[in-house]
Amino acid sequence: METPKIAVRDLEKVFFTKGREFAALQDINIDVRRNEFLALVGASGCGKSTLLRIIGGLEHPSSGQVLVDGEPVFGPGKDRVMVFQDYSLYPWLSVIENIRFCRELAAHTRINTISDSATAVDRSYALLELMGLEAVKDAHPNELSGGMRQRVAIARALMSRPDVLLMDEPFGALDAQTREVMHDLILHVFEIEKCTIVFVTHDVEEAIYLADRVVVLAPNPGHVDSIHEIDLPPPLERDQELKLSTDFVEQKRAILHRIRETTGVQRDLEKLDRLTKHLQETHA
C-alpha cells in the first residue's frame, strides 16, 4: 500500500488547566491520502481544531505522533501551511505583499536565483488572478470584505506550493452567499494545485460538498467516531444544486445523525420540553 501523505498514529492530547487534566484527544488514528481533501467535522469541543494544530506542528501531542511522508512532525514547517479563520493577514502589507510574504523568509529564498524570483513574481500574479484579486492588488487588508480577505489568506498559503494545506474553519466568519462562492473557488484551486487538504469545519454541508472523505470526531474525550467516503461527481462538476440532490441529503443526514448522537443535543431537547410544559402549566 502507498504510504499516506499524513498519518496520525495513536495520538493523544491532554490539556492542563488550573491543576485539572482535560483529555482533548484520545486514540486518534487517521490516514490522509496523497492529494486527498479530508474534512474534520464534529460538535464544538471535540478537538478538531486541536488535531489540525497538532498536524500543523503548532501544538505538541501528549503521546503518539503525526507522520508526513513517513517522517515524524516536531514543529511547524513550510510543507504544511495553515489558513486561519481570521486576523492572520498582515495589515501593514498590501494584498500582493501579503501573498509574497513567504518570499521574505530565508526558508524560501535560500536558492534565490534570478529565474527563481521571476517565477515567484509570475506565480504571485497567477494566484492574484486565480483568486479574483487583481483589482485590489495594492489595497490593504482592512479595506477588504471578509470574503476577499480569506481569498488573500488562501493565495498567501498557496504561494510557496505547499504539499499540505491545513484550513481551520476558513469560512466560519463569512455569510452564506460568500461561503458558496468560496466553496466553488476552493474546489477549483484544489483541482489546479493538486495538494493535500485537511479542512476543519462545523458545517456538515460544507464538508460534504468539498471533501473526498469526512471524519466525524466525537467529544469527551475527542475521538474518531466514523469516517464517511463521500460519493459525489468530481470537484469541477459539482454545483450548488447538488446540495439539494437526494444523494447529497442522504449523506448529510447520516453524518448529522452521527454528530447528534455523540453530543448532548438530545438531552437538551428533553430539558426544553420539560421547561415548555412547566411554563404552559404556570400560565394556565
Partner 1 sequence: MAASPDSGISRIGMGPNMSGAGKRNSETGAKKARVGRFWAIRGELSRRDYLLIAFGSFMLAMLGWWGLSVSGLVPRLFLPTPLDIAERLGHWYADGNLLADTQISVFRVTAGFLLSALMAVPLGLYIGTYRPVQAFFEPMVEFARYLPAVAFVPLVLLWVGIGEGAKITVIWIGTFFQMVLMVSENVRHVPAAQIEAAQTMGASRREIVSKVILKSALPDIVDTLRITLGWAWTYLVVAEMVAANSGLGYAILQAQRFLQTGKIFGGILVIGAIGLLMDQLFRLFHRRAFPWLHKR
Q: At its nearest, how many Å lie between partner 1 and the CB of residue 58?
A: 5
| Position 78 contacts partner 1 (CB under 8 A) | yes
Can you tell me which of 64, 77, 132, 172 binds partner 1, judged by CB under 8 A?
Answer: 77
From 58, 173, 242, 256, residue interacting with partner 1 (rule: CB under 8 A): 58
C-alpha radius of gyration, the chain, whole number: 21
Q: Is 154 within 8 Å of 170 (Cβ atoms)?
A: yes
Give every CB contact of residue 116 below 8 A, 6+ residues apart in sequence: none
Is 137 a residue that touches partner 1 (CB under 8 A)?
no
Q: Between 82 and 259, name the residue whose CB sits nearer to partner 1.
A: 82
80 binding partner 1? (CB under 8 A): yes
Q: Does 76 interact with partner 1 (rule: CB under 8 A)?
A: yes
Residue 16 touching partner 1 (CB under 8 A): no
Helix pair angle (176-193, 114-130), 10° resolution: 140
In the numeric block, the cell 499516506 is attached to 4
Query: How many Å apart are CA 113 and CA 111, to the nearest integer?
Result: 6
Stretch that binds partner 1, among 30-38, 88-96, 122-130, 209-217 (CB under 8 A): 88-96
Counting contacts by CB under 8 A, is residue 60 touching partner 1? no
Q: Which C-beta is closer to partner 1: that of 71 or that of 104?
A: 104
8, 51, 66, 82: which one binds partner 1 (CB under 8 A): 82
Of 268, 197, 245, 209, residue with least CA distance to 43: 268
Strand order across the 71-72 sheet:
20-32, 6-17, 63-68, 71-72
Residue closer to partner 1 by CB (options 106, 176) is: 106
**Is residue 22 part of the contact set for partner 1 (CB under 8 A)?**
no
Residues contacting partner 1: total by CB under 8 A: 34
Nearer to partner 1, 38 or 259 (CB): 38
Which member of 1, 106, 176, 244 binds partner 1 (CB under 8 A)? Answer: 106
Residue nearer to partner 1 on the CB measure, 60 or 253 = 60
Cell numbers placing 262: 455523540
Which of 201, 236, 196, 231 is closest to 215 using CA atoms? 201
Task: For residue 235, give Cα distances in angstroms to 129, 179, 212, 231.
Answer: 20, 16, 9, 11
C-alpha span between 70 and 63 (Å, rounded): 17
Q: Which chain residues interact with partner 1 by CB under 8 A?
A: 56-58, 76-78, 80-82, 84-92, 101-102, 104-108, 140-143, 153, 156-157, 160, 166
